[in-house]
Amino acid sequence: MQAMSRAAIVVVPSRWPEPFGMAALEAMGCGAAVVASHRGGLPDVVGEAGFYADPDDPDTLAAVLEQLIVSPALRAEAGQAGRARARLFDAAVMREKRRLLHEDLVREWRWKGVFRA
């Protein structure tokens, strides 16, 4: 986390389908521009806030990195977008989403007669 908090760019070139991209989320929370692979849960975490490159295509990965390296404005924009995206995964936000989901489920069960309270 210390290194990530000082990084301007963090690359998460996963080759396997990660169920959840915690490293990418932590990097976005630190304000780094994130370059991730389009595998597993990474796109669900990174969304439109980051950049994507196939880890098995070094030329494309290098081109995305070069674009970020030469453009401080692009890095800053990506860092801000990443911070905003990371806030969507905040515990308080997730707790509220879970509460609303629970209410929807109970309402649906009651409608179907599965649950009576």
Q: pLDDT tens digit string along 86-101? A: 999 888 877 887 888 8
- Structure token digits, residue 22: 């915690």
DSSP secondary structure code for residue 17 in this structure: -
Contact 20, 36 (CB under 8 A): no
Distance of alpha carbon 9 from alpha carbon 34, whole angstroms: 6
19-73 pLDDT per residue, tens: 999 999 999 999 999 999 999 999 999 999 999 999 999 999 999 999 999 999 9
Cα dihedral across residues 31, 32, 33, 35: positive or negative? negative
Q: pTM of this prediction?
A: 0.79
Where exactly are the structural domains of the chain?
Answer: 2-90
Q: Which CATH superfamily is domain 2-90 in?
A: Glycogen Phosphorylase B; (3.40.50.2000)
